[in-house]
């Protein structure tokens, strides 16, 4: 067998393979004998038909099977001989195949990128110091108290801190806001909408204009969307809201006592506070860990440049586009709006996909160098945990994961987490003061 490799583009190669006549003839002999054993011809018992009759009856099938076996076997041998780390299915082109002649075929492949690992220990990252503060506890307990609030209708004018139930319709220059921002349906019209009468609640400057109104009264509210508004297409625009007040409600908060604690299945307030502090610390740890890992990945991918196999990037891009579209659909964004934004969605997905693919190659190479592995029993434990969490039988979930090809994804995710644990443990950490929280 003669093998030559030609570079077509970064990570893309053309592998030409020539299989000698002797190997072709040996394959014909093997396949013909196989057909003679297995195929049936009228008038002959299985396996007893003359060879020449079998060849005549199944000539084209024998040719195809010989070619299939020769290309499959010699492709694998060629890849192994040249030590090529192939990442996609090959595009095979038959160049020459005739009995009595060498078989020549070419395979277009993509291979994993070749690169030198950058320095990956002592990566500089920042981490906030401190734990859960008294202010954090007060905010969390206040939120629990507010979740158990009771609301009573009142027959009076709206005051600050009241809750108003309203219907509204919004326009700008006489046109519905959806003409400027198709996703702004909720800002354009609502019925039985609750809003608290506080500065910056809902839209800045809105609720203050309802003070003094009573149930059954209508008011015109003029606002200007902030420059940093969450719906960018409305930023800086002026709008007119026609508002009908349906109800005025007072909020009554429960006492911060054992009765409140028991409503959250805690024995008493002391137990509730302990649980809240624990939850806040766990949340803080999760946020810190996510921040550290994002910094590590950003540091890694910025320290080395290498080309990526386009087929892998395209697959990851498709996955991300699917995730983005589904997320928007779940938020109620219409198909028409998604179609209009498809170029932007694809561009963002492609950029993110490249970073993800690059990070994956870097983490895998670090795993190889450091001997970091995920034993099979750890993967099984993860699948058992998933089955328990999703309340399905483990064997059913395993079957689904295998059919979807997701076992390898689970292994890869676990391996990446182990490598990131290693990198975080070996990072150069700069401790910083916590950033002030909104409203603090």
Q: In what order do the strands lie in the sheet with 12-19?
A: 2-9, 12-19, 103-110, 91-96
pLDDT at 438: 56
Question: Which residues in the chain land under pLDDT 70?
Answer: 436-440
pLDDT digits (tens, 9 = 90+) for 344-360: 899 999 999 999 999 99
Q: What is the pLDDT of residue 95?
A: 87
Overall pTM > 0.85? no
**301: how many CB neighbours lie within 10 A of its CB?**
18
Q: What is the pLDDT of residue 14?
A: 96
Name all domains of the chain by residue range, CATH numbers in brackets.
2-110 (3.30.70.1050), 150-252 (3.10.50.40)
pLDDT, position 341: 85
Residue-level pLDDT at 327: 87
Closest CA to 378 of 407, 335, 349: 407
Distance separating alpha carbons of residues 74 and 27, to the nearest angstrom = 12
Which pLDDT value is given to residue 143?
Answer: 95
**pLDDT of the residue at 436:** 66
The span from the CA of 196 to the CA of 136, in Å, is 23
Residue 330, pLDDT score? 82
Residue 215, pLDDT score: 97
């Amino acid at each position: 067998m003669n093998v030559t490799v030609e570079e077509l583009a970064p990570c893309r190669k053309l592998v030409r393979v020539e299989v000698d006549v002797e190997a072709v003839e040996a394959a014909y002999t093997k396949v013909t004998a196989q057909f003679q054993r297995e195929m049936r011809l009228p008038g002959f018992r299985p396996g007893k038909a003359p060879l020449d009759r079998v060849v005549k009856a199944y000539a084209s099938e024998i040719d195809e099977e010989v070619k299939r076996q020769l290309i499959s076997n010699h492709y694998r041998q060629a890849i192994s001989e040249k030590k090529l780390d192939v990442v996609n299915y090959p595009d095979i082109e038959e160049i020459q195949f005739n009995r009595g002649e060498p078989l020549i075929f070419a395979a277009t492949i993509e291979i994993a990128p070749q690169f030198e690992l950058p320095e990956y220990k002592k990566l500089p990252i920042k981490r906030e110091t401190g734990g859960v503060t008294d202010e954090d506890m007060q905010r969390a307990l206040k939120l629990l108290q507010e979740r158990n609030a009771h609301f009573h209708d009142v027959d009076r004018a709206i005051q600050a801190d009241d809750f108003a139930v309203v219907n509204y319709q919004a326009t700008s220059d006489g046109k519905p806001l959806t003409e400027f921002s198709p996703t702004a349906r909720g800002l354009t019209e609502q019925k039985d909408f609750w809003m608290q009468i506080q500065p910056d609640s809902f839209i800045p400057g809105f609720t203050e204009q309802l003070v003094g109104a009573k149930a059954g009264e209508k008011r015109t509210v003029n606002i200007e969307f902030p420059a940093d508004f969450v719906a960018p297409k409305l930023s800086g625009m002026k709008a007119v809201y026609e508002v009908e007040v349906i109800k005025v409600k007072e909020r009554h908060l429960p006492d911060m006592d054992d009765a409140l604690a028991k409503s959250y299945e805690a024995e008493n307030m002391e137990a509730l506070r302990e649980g809240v502090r624990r939850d806040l610390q766990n949340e803080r740890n999760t946020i810190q860990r996510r921040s550290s890992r994002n910094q590590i990945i950003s540091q890694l991918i910025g320290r080395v440049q290498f080309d990526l196999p386009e087929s892998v990037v395209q697959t990851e891009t498709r996955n991300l586009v699917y995730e983005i579209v589904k997320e928007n659909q779940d938020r109620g964004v219409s198909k028409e709006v998604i179609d209009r934004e498809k170029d932007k969605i694809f561009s963002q997905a492609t950029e993110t996909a490249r970073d993800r693919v690059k990070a994956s190659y870097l983490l895998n190479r670090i795993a190889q160098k450091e001997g970091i592995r995920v034993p099979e029993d750890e993967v099984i434990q993860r699948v058992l945990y998933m089955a328990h969490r999703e309340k399905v039988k483990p064997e059913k979930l395993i079957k689904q994961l295998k059919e979807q090809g997701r076992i390898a994804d689970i292994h890869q995710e676990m391996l990446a987490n182990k490598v990131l644990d290693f990198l975080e443990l070996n990072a150069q950490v700069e401790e910083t003061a916590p950033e002030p929280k909104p409203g603090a």
